[in-house]
A = this chain, B = another copy of it.
Amino acid sequence: MSAYPYGDAFARWRNAAGEDWNAYTRHSFVEGLSNGSLPRACFLHYLVQDYVFLFHFSRAWALAAVKADHPGEMKTAAATLDALVNHEMPMHIKTCAAEGIDEATLFAAREEAETLAYTRYVMDAGFSGDFLDLMAALAPCVIGYGEIGARLNREATSDTYRPWIETYAAPEYQTVCAEVGALIDNALHHRFGDDPWHAPRADALAGRFITATRLEVDFWSMGLRGA
């Protein structure tokens, strides 16, 4: 059993990301969700870009299924893709619809440079590397949102962004995070054996995680900047 609820690899990579991890998970956008000070226009701008993000993020999870080495990896990747396309994205669509933004408008939104940079970095990590390169690039988003959701669920002082917080604090989402953490740990052991942390590729994988974490910081900043 892992010392950290989201698995060993996540714990190590999170530690390696150091200040970048804090800059991401405690970004002023996040604090604005927590205390309700985030302007609605910034939240909506974020939400529209996050829809575009999730379209490409779904493509990245589909790519994980393409690169799966055995049925276990395939099943988790297929289930995660299904959850994204049929559950997380519809939530964005519903929230945006309540604000008068329909799905066609969402899909046609001009992609911000930060959205493009992050999503294409993840896709190329998967295309150019292997399953683990892709997982290391996907982890900060999937599991980081779980960590943020769980913390804000305890600490939030405002109900303004409660539905967003509850989405990621919910047991269903926390379970996804734990499954992805386990998927990564298993994939590392499957490919590198008992001690994957000293394989020559260990630094490169941590580097993928750190780069993706920085791209998350930029994504929040893009949200704050507004449309």
Q: Which residues of A contact B (CB under 8 A)?
A: 55, 58-59, 62-68, 70-71, 74-75, 77-79, 81-82, 85-86, 89, 103, 107, 111, 113, 116-117, 119-121, 123-124, 127-130, 133, 189-193, 199-201, 211, 214-215, 218
A200 to B103, CA, bound (A): 21
A217 to B68, CA, bound (A): 28
A64 to B128, CA, bound (A): 9
A215 to B112, CA, bound (A): 11
Expressed in whole angstroms, the minimum distance between the Cβ of A106 and any Cβ of chain B is: 9
Q: Is the CB of A59 within 8 A of B55?
A: no
A113 to B62, CA, bound (A): 25
**Which B residues are in CB contact (< 8 Å) with A116?**
117, 121, 211, 215
Q: Which of B55, B78, B124, B218 contacts A85 (CB 8 A)?
A: B78
Q: Is the CB of A123 within 8 A of B128?
A: yes
Q: Which of B77, B107, B123, B218 contacts A71 (CB 8 A)?
A: B107
Main secondary structure of the interface of A (DSSP, over half): helix
Expressed in whole angstroms, the minimum distance between the Cβ of A84 and any Cβ of chain B is: 8
Expressed in whole angstroms, the minimum distance between the Cβ of A156 and any Cβ of chain B is: 30
**Which B residues are in CB contact (< 8 Å) with A85?**
65, 74-75, 78
Expressed in whole angstroms, the minimum distance between the Cβ of A162 and any Cβ of chain B is: 27
Q: Is the CB of A58 within 8 A of B62?
A: no
Expressed in whole angstroms, the minimum distance between the Cβ of A51 and any Cβ of chain B is: 9
Residue in chain B with minimal CB distance to A133 = B130
